Amino acid sequence: MLLICYPKIFSSYFFSFNFPFSLADFRVGFYNATCPNAESIVQSVVAEHFAADPSVPAALLRMYFHDCFVRGCDASILISPTKKKTTERSAGPNQTVRGFDIIDEAESSLETQCPGNVSCADIIALAVRDAVALAGGPKYDVPTGRLDGLISNPNDVNLPGPQLTVSQALAFFTNKGFTLDDMVVLLGGHTVGVAHCTFFRDRLGNFQGTGQPDPTMDPALLAKLKETCGPRAKPLKSDPTAFLDQNASFAIDNSYYSQIMQKRGVMQIDQELADDNSTAATVQGLAADAAGFARRFADALVRLGSVEIKQGSDGEIRRSCQAFNTRSTKP
């Protein structure tokens, strides 16, 4: 069971970006004429869920990343599997993704007011923006005008895992157009959320087959995680979890970087960022500059939302976020 606490109150930042996109239908305020209340409807739904569950920002950030890194930001992660057809939601890395109910509720409200106008892919991007702000993070503009994808295949799901080195993880990010510094900033999303023990258990007692704990982990954190996880692995559904940021677990801020500089990274990739020569300076800079992290995190989230977006005949506006329209093609 998670211990629920509320985030500290942080000053808000608002960032507006000039988007150098050549896609005329991808812009801030895309729905101003066709569904002028679209963004406020999404914001209201997210705020209601956040009031009941402060872990909502972590859930939506993870959904956003898992969607955009597989076939682009096209809401393909939302398609529900059936008895005859598996989808991205069936893939192992997506088994613990949460927040589908939030997107469905927002879409239902939008369909009532503006039927057939707002894509599920845009709902995800808007929901993430609103959740980030509610958790004390930056406020920023989100371009909209994405269409929903026509394919959702579990075999396409290939995401960077928690036990990768910096260079191994970077290969995934450069494939999507991000730099090494971008990767460090985006992984700052680990300032909220939890990880199941199975994703870091090796660090607690048999790191890389040594039979010993990871020597880079703070001894106090090691003892705490051992107590949390217990001596034996458990099925994922009953596997305990630990906060990725042991300091301000529900606040989107730069404390994650201070934590990993103190050897308190929970997952291997987090600690690698602080220890690797190629990323250590960036980690130190972000740890020392809260406003700089907020600005760069907002920019990185906006650019993440522009990865391989669908337009024209490559997409549709789904009538239900969980299912393709009948004209969709599926592999």
Report, as residue numbers or ranges, the catalytic residues: 66
Q: Is 88 annotated as a binding residue?
A: yes
Residue 70 labelled as part of a binding site: yes
Q: In whole angstroms, give the CA distance from residue 289 to residue 254.
A: 8
d(CA 134, CA 122): 18
Apex 299 CA angle, 286 and 121, nearest 5: 130
For every residue of 157-178, DSSP letters joined together read -----TT--HHHHHHHHHTTT-
What are the C-alpha distances in Å from 10 to residues 6, 122, 133, 135, 256?
Answer: 12, 27, 10, 9, 15
Q: Which residue matches tokens 């549709």?
A: 316
- Cα–Cα distances in angstroms (integers) from residue 252 to residues 41, 55, 94, 157, 255, in the given order: 23, 11, 22, 27, 8
190 annotated as ligand-binding: yes
d(CA 135, CA 129): 10
Beta bridge partners of 158: none
Cβ–Cβ under 8 Å, residues 273 and 283: yes
Distance, in Å, from the CA atom of 188 to the CA atom of 246, rounded to the nearest integer, reads 13
Helix (H) or strand (E) holding 105: helix 100-113
Cα dihedral across residues 74, 77, 80, 82: positive or negative: positive
Give 28's DSSP letter. Answer: E
Say which amino acid occupies 265.
G
CA 139 vs. chain centroid, Å, equals: 16
Check whether 196 is labelled as a binding-site residue. Answer: no
**Annotated binding residue at 230?**
no
Q: Is 74 annotated as a binding residue?
A: yes
Q: Is residue 76 annotated as involved in ligand binding?
A: yes
* Binding site, annotated residues: 67, 70, 72, 74, 76, 88, 160, 190-191, 245, 253
* Binding site, annotated residues for substrate: 160
* Binding site, annotated residues for heme b: 190
* Binding site, annotated residues for Ca(2+): 67, 70, 72, 74, 76, 88, 191, 245, 253
